[in-house]
Amino acid sequence: MELTITQPDDWHLHLRDGDLLQAVIPDSAKHFGRAIVMPNLKPPITTTAAAVVYRDSILKALPADSHFTPLMTLYLTDMTNREEIKVAKKSGVVYGVKLYPAGATNSQDGVTDLFGSCFPVLQEMVEQNIPLLVHGEVADPNVDIFDREKVFIETILQPLVQRLPSLKVVMEHITTKDAVSFVNSCREGFVAATVTPQHLILNRNSLFQGGLQPHNYCLPVLKRDIHRQAIVSAVTSGSKRYFLGTDSAPHEKRKKECRCGCAGIYNSPVALSIYAKVFEEAGALDELEAFASFNGPDFYGLPRNKSKIKLRKSPWKVPESLSFPFGDIVPMFAGELKSHILWFLSYCIRHDTGNFSDK
């Protein structure tokens, strides 16, 4: 069985820098035409000047024959000013501004006062038509970790879209039925959401299946199955409000398998296979292309990709781990096999030549 679709993009990706960037970028470049690149490096990318330098390092790290385009983002802080937003727009390389509530994940520098000092910046983003990309969890340690997305929607997002209805907002990596209800209740074209493979196929049991499973730990943390089901229904419904964002977030194996492991799942090698499997099992394979390849560029006001990809169904075992000179990375579904993942990219890309070439 084969499936040919317009080449997808990844609207939420962590590419890291240095050795890690070099190690992971081929997996994204192989599958996706473009990606919204998260700015949470250490230190974070808070200025357009830094985004331009980071973008150059990504382009340098790409495999020689790659057509992959990184779309850069800025990390919003209490210090970000309106001028920076104007510069970002003018640069032509910055496509979003990322909001991490201070203390949420890997994000000590996030925003503490969105409706205060940051508000003029948000108003400028409306002027410049730059979307706000949000990690939608409150950082308050007193709020139960499974409720942090819901509380964020009630206390931050709902008031935000009421006060700035013309601000484009992407709620990143949604994990709850509450997020689905919220996104569906907003004005189409102004509020949208990215959805990861893990939040479509795993629930919170996967964190403890036979013992603690660090490679299934990401933030926002996996939720109950009713939430997963609501997200599957949303993405397979044909709604334009949802699009593909892997949140592929590599960490070295030793930083996952330790006393205090990092949050983040490295899913780039398997993401597309998992999305296809989820859509197929929901009887909605014909909706996959819009989710993966149309809704994202349409929301961002960018052209859809012209290239096509072909997916073929064949047995495939994900490697136990990927080895690099600096250490190992364990991909999502490491060591799991064939029957689990069916749509495999033994695929080919057709650029405008009209020919498929085996990758």
Catalytic machinery residues: 12, 14, 98, 135, 173, 247
Per-residue binding string, Zn ion, 243-262, x by CB under 5 A, is ----x---------------
Residue 308 touches which member of Zn ion, ligand NCD, none, C-beta under 5-8 Å by kind = none
Q: What is the contact mask toward ligand NCD in residues 24 to 43, using x (rule: CB under 6 A)?
A: ----------------x---
Does the protein bind ligand NCD through residue 10 (CB under 6 A)? no
Encoded tokens for 220: 């926002």
| C-alpha distances in Å from residue 106, one per residue of 5, 125, 273 | 35, 24, 28
| Residue whose C-alpha is closest to residue 305's, from 290, 320, 327 | 290
Tell me if 151 contacts ligand NCD by CB under 6 A: no
Total residues contacting ligand NCD by CB under 6 A comes to 11
Paired strand residues for 171:
134, 193
Q: Which of residues 201-220 bind ligand NCD (CB under 6 A)?
A: 218-219
User: Could you say which of 50, 143, 151, 263 contacts ligand NCD (CB under 6 A)?
Assistant: 263
CA distance 217 to 282: 25
Q: What is the smallest separation between the CB atom of 162 and Zn ion, expressed in angstroms?
A: 23
Q: Is 14 in the site for ligand NCD (CB under 6 A)?
A: yes
Residue 148 sits in the site that holds Zn ion (CB under 5 A) = no
Residue nearest to ligand NCD (CB): 264
Distance CA 173, CA 27 (A): 20
Under the binding rule (CB under 6 A), the answer on residue 247 touching ligand NCD is yes
Residue tagged 């994900």 (tokens): 318
Q: Which of 314, 312, 305, 308 is nearest to 338 (CA)?
A: 314
DSSP assignment of 271-295 equals: HHHHHHHHHHHTT-GGGHHIIIIIH
Q: Which two tokens stand for residue 186?
A: 């907003």
- Please name the residues in contact with 234: beta carbons below 8 A apart, sequence gap of 6 or more: 180, 183, 184, 193, 195, 241, 242
C-alpha dihedral (125, 130, 135, 139), degrees to nearest 10: -10
Query: What count of residues does the chain have?
Result: 359
Q: Does 264 bind ligand NCD (CB under 6 A)?
A: yes
Stretch that binds Zn ion, among 128-136, 195-203, 273-281, 316-324 (CB under 5 A): 128-136
Q: Which is nearer to ligand NCD, 149 or 287 (CB)?
A: 149
**3-class DSSP state of 229:** helix
**Minimum distance, C-beta of residue 198 to Zn ion, in the bound complex (Å):** 11
Among candidate residues 296, 274, 273, 311, the one with its CA nearest the CA of residue 34: 296
Please state whether the peptide bond connecting residue 220 to the residue before it is cis, i.e. omega within 30 degrees of 0: yes
Quick one: what does residue 174 bind among Zn ion, ligand NCD, none, with the CB cut-off 5 to 8 Å set by partner type? none
Q: Binders of ligand NCD among 105-124, rule CB under 6 A?
A: 105-106
Residues 297-356 that bind ligand NCD (CB under 6 A): none
In the list 30, 98, 135, 228, the residue contacting Zn ion (rule: CB under 5 A) is: 135
- The residue ranges that bind Zn ion (CB under 5 A) are 135, 247
- The residue ranges that bind ligand NCD (CB under 6 A) are 14, 40, 105-106, 135, 218-219, 247, 249, 263-264
